[in-house]
Amino acid sequence: MSGRLEELCRFANGETPKVFIHPVARAIALHFWLAYDHPFCDGNVRTARALFYWAMLHQGYWLFAFISISSVINKARGQYERSFLLSESDDNDLTYFLLSQVKVIQQAIACLPAYLEREAGEVGALQQRLEEMEGLNHRQLALLRHALRHSGFR
């Protein structure tokens, strides 16, 4: 099994194969590969999705920090499992899984505006509560406002 994991890592890092594979197809293939190999006692599917996200972000698809394929998959678990089984039972032909995951990605992207609206509403509500808080000085308020506006700031 360790040889398969090493090969998966080489594939994830773009070392294999020596032909171009579109980054989205590579990320989907990594998702399938890890879930198929099932190297851990628990959490293989969650780890496979995390690997998908890592691959997408690693290749510059930054929007995937805000897109949730997991929520789409969880709503239609049967379709996910069916695409996995079809690929597995047809000599690991990833076409079934690739096509299914592309649809999942499209659905997840379609959900993005509603997600962003919810997030903006939550940030607005937090800012309102912050303004109503007593006992904070102007420096503390400024720091908290900055944290709300720049959540990724380090």
Residues 68 and 124 in one domain: no
Is the pLDDT at 154 greater than 70? The verdict is: no
Residues 105 and 132 in one domain: no
- Burial category of 139 from C-beta neighbours within 10 Å (exposed 0-12, middle 13-18, buried 19 and up): exposed
Residues 71 and 143 in one domain: no
Residue appearing with tokens 């879930």: 35
Q: Quick one: average pLDDT of 41-48? A: 94
CATH number for the domain spanning 61: value is 1.10.3290.10
Residues 86 and 142 in one domain: no
Is the pLDDT at 1 greater than 80? The verdict is: no
Residues 37 and 79 in one domain: yes
Residues 106 and 137 in one domain: no
Residues 70 and 103 in one domain: yes
Residues 32 and 75 in one domain: yes
Residues 104 and 31 in one domain: yes
Q: What is the largest CA-CA distance in the chain?
A: 65
Residues 69 and 122 in one domain: no
Q: DSSP letter string over 29-61?
A: HHHHHHHHH--SSS-HHHHHHHHHHHHHHHTT-
Closest CA to 150 of 123, 116, 130: 123
Token reading at 57? 């972000």
Token reading at 148? 């709300």
Look at residue 119 in the predicted model and tell me its pLDDT.
86
Is the pLDDT at 152 greater than 80? The verdict is: no
Residues 17 and 91 in one domain: yes
Residue 154 lies in a domain: no
Q: By residue range, what is the domain housing residue 54? A: 2-110
Residue 102 lies in a domain: yes
Q: Is 125 helix (H, G, I), strand (E, B) or coil?
A: helix
- How many domains does the chain divide into? 2
Look at residue 120 in the predicted model and tell me its pLDDT.
87
Residues 35 and 89 in one domain: yes
